[in-house]
Structure 1
Amino acid sequence: MSASSLNLYAGPAALAHIRANGLQPEHVASVFGASGAAKWLTIYGLDRALFEQWLPQSHQPVHLFGTSIGAWKLAAAGQRQAGWALNELAEGYIEQSYQGGINKPVVHRELMKILDRFLQRPQAEDLLSHPRFHYHCGVARCHGAMAEEAGLTLAKGMGGAFWRNLRGREHLNRQFDRVVFADPRRLPKVAGLDGIATEVQPLSVDNVREAVVASGSIPYVMAPKTAIAGAPQGIYRDGGLIDYHPVPGNFWQEPGLILYPHFYRWLLPGWYDKYLKSRRAGAHALDWVVMIAPSAAHVAGLAGGQIPDRKDFQRFKGNDAERQRRWRHAKEQSLALGEAFMSIARSGDWEAHLQPL
């Protein structure tokens, strides 16, 4: 498969490192995963190649951090049977069905079906005892109107957060705390460098499923988690509200290269930045990041020339078969991204494919 299906980008420090030393699996200190719901299917095959073929060639400990679907996929990738778990997650996600309409109870039912496919108690034990990988996920603990479920009150909270975010990320501190649920064997160094209060809570076999669900609990679509074993009482929602595409420079203080398989070539720090191109993360916040993303040519070859999107549930309402066909096509095509990455890795010619962030 041609490497033209894949784009590689690197922050300043990562670029200098690769030019001097190349890129080997033993150089990776952390792997990040972004929010984006169905968009993840676009890079499913890339994740499989990274966790089944490339990273197993090394032995160092590696942090895994994600929010929302990024948290879900890394909970699969961080298992000893990563390929099986990632496939179960992807197939479960594709097979969701809302023929009777989308509401919170039905969404909860469908998501529990997905979770049960790849993260029951034996898999949770496996994830938190992995000899190399240390799994962490980001969750937003909410305050004020964002801590309410009543439609108008929550809408007020969402609107207020939008306007506060326009003034600057630090103003979100009044409505959110960043909570990193982390493998207690190797707690990551984090801090609220963007002005958002940040704390670490330990994961356990008893709370990892709750934390994973909380990390993807989208307002209006899902009920928040109100009790996560071992953590303070609170209203826990989708970690993507704060860290939509987690930007290391905003909170991550662990040293070393950060591998970032992603479906775009840019990062939007928070959910409220989705329509603000000026908020795309700059190179200064991505110093040690190596981002791997599908090329425009690859995306053009997908059904409709588009990557899967959560809006497809409405777009193909009443026609699950067509949505599932398109999403499964994206999943199958994503295997080419993994092949392209492994081809570059075998050649060692990283500079020929690398661009600065």
Structure 2
Amino acid sequence: MLSALKIFAGPEALAHIRNHGLSAADIRMVLGASGGPKWLSLAAIDRYLLSEWFAGRTEPLHLLGTSAGGWRLACYAQNNPLAAHARFQEAYMAQQYSLQPTAQEVGAGCRVILQEILGKTGAQEIIANPVVRYHTLVARCRGLGGSEQKWLQTLGMAGAMASNLVSRSAMRPFVERVLFHHPDKPPVTHFPHLPARQVTLTAENIAPAILATGAIPVAISGVQDIPGAPRGTYRDGGITDYQFDLPVLPEQGFVLYPHYFASPPKGGWFDKKLRWRQAAREHYRRTIIVAPSWEFAATLPGGRIPDLQDFYQFTDYNERRARWNKAVGECERLGDALADIDQRQRWAEVAEPLPW
């Protein structure tokens, strides 16, 4: 069972685990990465955390997510997070589109998912939650990247990608990082490579902000003129913060990062295939990564966790849904493995140094 799950910890987190073990009280922040359907591999882990670890939480817990990770964590901050998570999972897995959907068609589907996540009261519950504090990152696209004409937007994104080959900071003319943060205060104040404009979440902008952080360029229509933020087109937060390369270093406690890959995180979307670029180890010295092992992932349908290619490879909804159902069912083992590690306090036994 335990071989299904990998636990990696930065130096300070690993020292704490080896000396004291780990409990929910040690965690001050949770990260949620972009990655489309990859999040489905973490559903059982989410449920364990929501039902056992963070249930009845009284100390502040910050959540920072982008794209699908931002959608996941929006469930955590509601009054009934398990119910919100169940609605999200079903709505996400139920997506159906035409064979060649427009960005507007997929955008409409995403709005349906968001409605299921938030229900009637979720937006206000997230804003008013004094304990579980939600934050999300969104990319405000400049120039051609802000266009809803596909070919112009593609040119804009190509410019951002080419600039990123030079450095992440070279993307500044093409994209602005925007942090929509809980009304209390943001959990991160220093943003390397790309400065972050900070916008307080309100009842008026929380839904469009959550929608925007999942608006994949070209594939999904962007979100225009989010209230309280500068005018413009807002797209997927993974453009700037795909798997995070940020100094998330709480003065007390640690960061929990349920992740879908047991490998070094990539900072931005355009870094995915750049072997020479990965997140700074320094930024992860107080982080615990919980991820499915590669050996476990190889046992899933197709030898991998679900991903965005499934929408193109399995255009028949019933076939795709059957594969996802099977994968999600198999990934229950990950929740069981986490429960075993936690309840038997085997953290020190299984925790490993960061894999990079």
Asked if Structure 1 and Structure 2 have the same fold, meaning a TM-score greater than 0.5 normalized by the shorter chain, the answer is yes
SS of the residue corresponding to residue 7 of structure 1 reads strand
SS of the residue corresponding to residue 244 of structure 2 reads coil
Task: Report 1:326-337 matches (<5 A).
Answer: 326-337=323-334
Q: How far apart, in 1, do the equivalents of 2:308 and 2:157 lie?
A: 19
Task: Report 1:67-106 matches (<5 A).
Answer: 67-99=66-98, 101-106=100-105
SS of the residue corresponding to residue 56 of structure 1 reads coil
Distance apart, 1:282 and its partner CA? 3.7
SS of the residue corresponding to residue 180 of structure 2 reads strand
Match of 2:201 in 1: 203
SS of the residue corresponding to residue 347 of structure 2 reads coil
Distance apart, 1:186 and its partner CA? 3.2
Distance apart, 1:21 and its partner CA? 2.1
Distance apart, 1:268 and its partner CA? 1.0
Match of 1:272 in 2: 270
The more displaced of 158-167 and 141-150 is 141-150
SS of the residue corresponding to residue 248 of structure 1 reads coil
Letter in 2 for 1:208: I
Evaluate the alpha carbon distance shift between residue 90 and residue 156 of structure 1 in structure 2; reply closer, same or farther with a 3 A threshold. same
Evaluate the alpha carbon distance shift between residue 230 and residue 55 of structure 1 in structure 2; reply closer, same or farther with a 3 A threshold. same
Q: How far apart, in 1, do the equivalents of 2:169 and 2:59 lie?
A: 35
Distance apart, 1:72 and its partner CA? 0.4
SS of the residue corresponding to residue 290 of structure 2 reads strand
Distance apart, 1:91 and its partner CA? 1.0
Q: Any conservation in 1 of the 2:244–2:279 contact (CA below 8 Å)?
A: no
Q: Any conservation in 2 of the 1:28–1:257 contact (CA below 8 Å)?
A: yes
Letter in 1 for 2:42: I
2:309 counterpart of 1:286: no
Q: How far apart, in 2, do the equivalents of 1:253 and 1:145 lie?
A: 35
Match of 2:338 in 1: 341
SS of the residue corresponding to residue 352 of structure 1 reads helix
Match of 2:33 in 1: 34
Q: How far apart, in 2, do the equivalents of 1:333 and 1:31 lie?
A: 24
Q: Any conservation in 2 of the 1:31–1:63 contact (CA below 8 Å)?
A: yes
Q: Any conservation in 1 of the 2:8–2:351 contact (CA below 8 Å)?
A: yes
Q: How far apart, in 2, do the equivalents of 1:57 and 1:209 lie?
A: 25
Match of 2:174 in 1: 175
Structure 2 unpaired stretches of 5+ = none
Letter in 2 for 1:300: A
Task: Report 1:140-159 matches (<5 A).
Answer: 140-159=139-158
Match of 1:61 in 2: 60
Distance apart, 1:99 and its partner CA? 3.4
2:199 counterpart of 1:191: no
SS of the residue corresponding to residue 338 of structure 2 reads helix
Return the match for 1:257 from 245, 254, 259.
254
Task: Report 1:239-258 matches (<5 A).
Answer: 239-249=237-247, 252=248, 254-255=250-251, 256-258=253-255
Which of structure 1's runs of 4+ aligned residues deviate more than 3 A?
Answer: 252-256
Q: How far apart, in 2, do the equivalents of 1:21 and 1:28 lie?
A: 13
The more displaced of 52-61 and 155-164 is 52-61
Distance apart, 1:253 and its partner CA? 5.6
Q: How far apart, in 2, do the equivalents of 1:352 and 1:325 lie?
A: 36
Q: How far apart, in 1, do the equivalents of 2:269 and 2:328 lie?
A: 24
Q: Any conservation in 2 of the 1:191–1:253 contact (CA below 8 Å)?
A: no
SS of the residue corresponding to residue 334 of structure 2 reads helix
Letter in 2 for 1:183: H
When normalised by structure 1's length, the TM-score is: 0.94
Deviation per CA, 1:215-272: give whole Å up to 9, x if none: 01111112211211122212211110000112233xx464341100010023111110
2:353 counterpart of 1:353: no
SS of the residue corresponding to residue 277 of structure 1 reads coil
Aligned length: 352
SS of the residue corresponding to residue 189 of structure 1 reads coil
Q: How far apart, in 2, do the equivalents of 1:279 and 1:227 lie?
A: 33
Letter in 2 for 1:118: I
Match of 2:18 in 1: 19
Letter in 2 for 1:141: R
Distance apart, 1:58 and its partner CA? 4.6
Deviation per CA, 1:146-203: give whole Å up to 9, x if none: 2223333322221211121111111112222211101112332322222x12121011
Deviation per CA, 1:330-356: give whole Å up to 9, x if none: 222222211211111111121211111
Distance apart, 1:131 and its partner CA? 3.8
Letter in 1 for 2:87: E
Q: How far apart, in 2, do the equivalents of 1:116 and 1:89 lie?
A: 9
Q: How far apart, in 2, do the equivalents of 1:55 and 1:297 lie?
A: 29
Q: How far apart, in 1, do the equivalents of 2:16 and 2:310 lie?
A: 40
The more displaced of 22-31 and 221-230 is 221-230
Letter in 1 for 2:214: G
